[in-house]
Amino acid sequence: MSSYPTGRRDFIKLALAASSFPLVRHLAFAASLVDDRTAWYRNAKFGMFIHWGPYSLASVEASWPIMRPTPGGISEAEYRELPKRFNPTKFDPHAFVDLARSAGQQYMVFTTKHHDGFCMFDTSYTDYKITNTPYGKDIVAQLSAAARQADMPLGFYYSPPDMHHPGFRDTTKLAKDNWNGEPTRPEWPLYLDYMQLQLTELLANYGPVALIWFDGLNHQEKYGGVRFLDLIQKLQPATLVNDRIGVPGDYQTPEQFIPNKIPTKGVHISGIDPNVQDKLKATVPKPEDFQLWETCMTINNQWAYNLHDHEYKSAQYLIRALVEVASRGGNFLLNVGPQPDGVIQPEFQERLRAIGDWLSANGESIYGTSYGPVQGMSSARTTSKGKTVFVHIFEWPSSAFEVKGVEARVISARLLASGQPLNFRQSEEKLQIDLPAQAPDPNVSVVSLKTL
């Protein structure tokens, strides 16, 4: 497999360098530092999301069964009892990291606390945590150590909503009645202090943290997000932050969909509503107007493990999704939900390794690239890197392949995976490329164009 960006070493260097800069609000570092903070992330393109907790025992989604219960589903009382049986004795943090590497993923994001309030780390501020289960060991600490050893950037998902904490909501009521939280209660400031204490633990006790992935749900302004951005800046200035705590972060996070146009600054695309993408301009933006973004997506229909959910996206679908995202300058955060015993199910592993096989031959067209100069093609997508344009062909043509919109002069064309040179003809209107009769790759074949 081809070599991948080292990632964590660069991130650690950035963390040390950034710590010498004075604190300013809203992540407004000096321009060069802003570029340095996000450089590794912009280059990485592909990451692993991990949703895991006691809920995997019941094959239910994380937290939502108690927030929006369904008839015949698990009760809140039953859900609350799951930690008493949670004992993932087959959990191997090195296996998680190795799988991410074999998939070509360049960073990982782990759920330290979901909306239910259960903590997968040994926090000092609640008993509702992994070290009070039959398993008894700190999952986050083990994964952090394995990631450091493998030079893998690791980020932490942390949920501001917390169904378990009496400061977030009146816990004498069922979560379905007040799961959005109750910021008008006098206990609310105590909950924000709790958040600060836990984030301090995560940032101070688990080594370099590549990013914090908040998931604030509705009315995120109630968290006073600037406070937490300042905290993150102070403890780990190089740590990136997403956009789900009521204030702009380093990148936006469309969920389960890919914007059909390149996101630009000033247009909010976070959340699960793909209709917002209609507001995006159908143009290729200037680099300074580009909005950093990341699509998170599941392999089947659920974030958490569900033994009944067999609607797996194919490897081809996922490879093409990665290409779609990269062609618009984004990152692709692909989720796995480990089994209750701590093993990632074989169907997920198979698809991840297939993506890794494709990337081993074609990774040059994804890693370190930006959005391509030609957008809106029905049968292909483009990415770019310096003076190279990569054409990702989804539908193999029966005759010469035509690309309209490549303004730079092309001086060579080749199949990326094999290096086979290709004949081409370029006019002001279009570029014509002579291709082999059969597609070299059944998923996506890539042509590399060198330009002046």
User: 22-36, 43-57, 273-287, 422-436: which range is least confident on average?
Assistant: 22-36
Q: Are residues 209 and 287 in the same domain?
A: yes
Q: Are residues 330 and 385 in the same domain?
A: no
In a domain? residue 312: yes
In a domain? residue 52: yes
Q: What is the mean pLDDT of residues 376-387?
A: 96
C-beta atoms surrounding 224 within 10 Å: 16
Q: Look-up: residue for tokens 């004992």?
A: 87
Radius of gyration of the chain (CA): 23
- Last residue of one domain, picked from the residues 344, 367, 390: 367
pLDDT of residue 10: 59
pLDDT of residue 379: 95
Q: What is the pLDDT of residues 230-281, one digit of tens each?
A: 999 999 999 999 999 999 999 999 999 999 999 999 988 878 877 766 667 6
Which range marks the domain in which residue 428 is found?
372-451
- Last residue of one domain, picked from the residues 342, 367, 392: 367
In a domain? residue 1: no
Give the single-character DSSP code of 246. S
Percent of the residues in the chain that have a pLDDT greater than 90, as a whole number: 87
The full DSSP string for 120-134 is: SS--SS-S-BGGGSS
Give the separation between CA 229 and CA 245, rounded to whole angstroms.
9
In a domain? residue 187: yes
Q: What is the pLDDT of residues 394-438, one digit of tens each?
A: 999 988 999 999 999 999 999 999 999 999 999 999 999 999 999
Q: What is the mean pLDDT of residues 100-115?
A: 98
Q: Inform me whether the pLDDT recorded for 339 exceeds 90.
A: yes
Give the separation between CA 38 and CA 11, rounded to whole angstroms.
9
- Last residue of one domain, picked from the residues 367, 385, 405: 367
Q: Are residues 417 and 276 in the same domain?
A: no
Q: Are residues 402 and 283 in the same domain?
A: no
Q: What is the mean pLDDT of residues 376-380?
A: 94
pLDDT of residue 278: 66
Q: Are residues 213 and 85 in the same domain?
A: yes
CATH number at residue 398: 2.60.40.1180
pLDDT of residue 154: 98
Q: Are residues 191 and 72 in the same domain?
A: yes
Q: Are residues 227 and 361 in the same domain?
A: yes
pLDDT of residue 308: 97
Q: Inform me whether the pLDDT recorded for 33 exceeds 80.
A: no
Q: Are residues 240 and 355 in the same domain?
A: yes
Q: What is the pLDDT of residues 182-203, one digit of tens each?
A: 999 999 999 999 999 999 999 9
pLDDT of residue 276: 65
In a domain? residue 387: yes
Q: Are residues 257 and 378 in the same domain?
A: no
With 0.85 as the threshold, say if the pTM is over it.
yes
pLDDT of residue 273: 78
The full DSSP string for 19-80 is: TTSPP-GGG---HHHHHHHHHHHHHH-EEEEE--SGGGGGT--SSHHHHS--TTS--HHHHH
How many domains, the chain? 2
pLDDT of residue 20: 36
Per-residue tokens: 283: 């143009």
Give the single-character DSSP code of 189. H
Q: Inform me whether the pLDDT recorded for 153 exceeds 70.
A: yes
CATH number at residue 336: 3.20.20.80
Q: Are residues 45 and 81 in the same domain?
A: yes
Give the separation between CA 89 and CA 341, rounded to whole angstroms.
6
Q: Are residues 339 and 441 in the same domain?
A: no
Q: What is the mean pLDDT of residues 22-34?
A: 37
Q: What is the pLDDT of residues 273-309, one digit of tens each?
A: 777 666 676 689 999 999 999 999 999 999 999 999 9
Q: Are residues 376 and 363 in the same domain?
A: no
pLDDT of residue 21: 33
pLDDT of residue 9: 57
- Own/partner pairs, 320-323, CB within 8 angstroms, 24+ separation: 320/394, 320/443, 320/444, 321/258, 321/295, 321/297, 322/45, 322/46, 322/355, 322/366, 323/366, 323/381, 323/383, 323/392, 323/444
In a domain? residue 346: yes
Q: Inform me whether the pLDDT recorded for 103 exceeds 50.
A: yes
In a domain? residue 377: yes
